Amino acid sequence: MTRFPFRRFQPRPRARTRLYCFPHAGGAASTFHGWPRVLPETVEVIAVQYPGRQDRYQDALPDSIPELAEEIVRNLETPFDRPTAFFGHSMGAMVAFETARRLQPRFPSPLAALFVSACKAPAEREPRGLSFEEDELRAYLHELGGEGARALEADKELWQLAYPVLSGDLRMIDKYEYAAGAPLTCPLIALGGDKDPSVTPADLELWRDYAIGGAELHVVDGGHFYFDDSLPRLAEILAARMGQLPV
């Protein structure tokens, strides 16, 4: 049984593989609510719920991405009982990467694969220099686009609920500093949209330096939140790669 802070929207106890999904800044586990419908029965989707949102609204926000990764590792049931991969989008890719690092240093890694989506490689990240004022964050979200940003623009009450979480997450990203260490021993698959204003295909290529278990790059049609419109294509990539994981 998966422990807090994980959410199974569609339990698949007999699934061959398991995919933990890490949401973007300001995002929540509900981002992945519909993913089981587009992935095969052989994949069980488990969404990570960060503190400070939805049913964890009263839990304090973490101070840093490494602190958040530590909490997740403490709650993971390891060793995994089936081939298990992580998928992280944007900030979620950084959290998934730092979580994966903490499942090593033993070889082989208990993690079967790491999918990093719409995110620059760790050592390439630089502070954005945001002031975290509301108007500035609204403009930043508008530039990134996506269904979530449009919903926040249209609903003032929703924005008031989301703003503290979003600003807290972006502060964590801004102060993140990569600590050099051993590369991951599991395969790494980098994904992104060809129209993403913040992460280019060249940025995604740099993830190859962070894994010695092999690396792949997939660029699909769309912007930073490319899966709003290209979820079936992303599901094809995930399903094919998950189907290749050794038992």
Residues designated catalytic: 90, 224
User: Under a CB-based contact definition with an 8 Å cutoff, are residues 137 and 148 in contact?
Assistant: no
What is the rounded distance in angstroms from the CA atom of residue 226 to the CA atom of residue 211? 24
Structure tokens at 29: 């586990």
Residue 113 CB-half CA count within 13 A: 26
Going by the DSSP 8-state scheme, the letter that residue 175 receives in this structure is T
Structure tokens at 65: 């991405």
Residue 5 CB-half CA count within 13 A: 24
State the Cα angle at 79 between 74 and 81, rounded to 5°: 120
Question: Exposed/middle/buried for 135, CB within 10 Å: 0-12, 13-18, 19+?
Answer: exposed
- At 117, phi and psi to the nearest 5? -125, 130
DSSP string over 70-132:
HHHHHHS-SS-SS-EEEEEETHHHHHHHHHHHHT-SSSS-S--EEEEES---GGG--------
